[in-house]
Amino acid sequence: MATKVAFVVAVARNGVIGLKGDLPWRLSSDLKLFRRLTMGKPIVMGRKTWASLPKRPLDGRDNIVVTRDAAFAEDGAIVAHDVEAALALARAAADRRGVDEIAVIGGADIFRAMLPLAGRIYLTEVDAAPEGDVFFPVLDPADWHLASVEPIPRGPRDEAGAELKILERRAPA
């Protein structure tokens, strides 16, 4: 079975995805969506994203952490020292789990490095323009088409509105 590389990311109108090692908003509804989209799948993240997780590892998922730090070791983290090794580990985990998708969850350096490999993007567009210091890479519209749009109902613990856009990579011409 072919394993698709999928990004799962929330991006503000101004491209912001992070601020000082954290999310720049509180969106409980999107966190529930994130859990639904990633549960049971291998997830690939950078070390800073790993450090930002309030509960590590994320349950029900293989937590693959990309770091150049040869001494890095934490309970629940499957360590890879480059994106190629991370992808190999994630593909093996996907095969073991019987799933056809790997979820890449950030940060910006991991998204940039893996963008050429991505076949799908679960993009939560956050209706806000917060201050930030981490940005999602600009996507070339020629490479992506909008497969679907799903409103994310705003709950009482959400600081902004949002909608989920699923983007699929266009086939090469």
For 130-143, the pLDDT digits (tens) are 999 999 999 999 99
The tens digit of pLDDT for each residue in 42-100 reads 999 999 999 999 889 999 999 999 999 999 999 999 999 999 999 999 999 999 999 99
- Asked whether 126 and 12 are in contact (CB, 8 A), the reply is yes
**Range list of H helices, 44-127:** 47-52, 83-97, 108-114
Q: What pLDDT does 108 receive?
A: 97
The alpha carbons of the chain give a radius of gyration, in whole angstroms, of 15
Sign of CA dihedral 111, 115, 120, 121: positive
Both tokens assigned to 162: 């949002």
Q: What pLDDT does 158 receive?
A: 97
Q: What pLDDT does 29 receive?
A: 97
User: Within a 10 A sphere around the Cβ of 7, how many other Cβ atoms?
Assistant: 26
Residue 173: is its pLDDT beyond 60? no
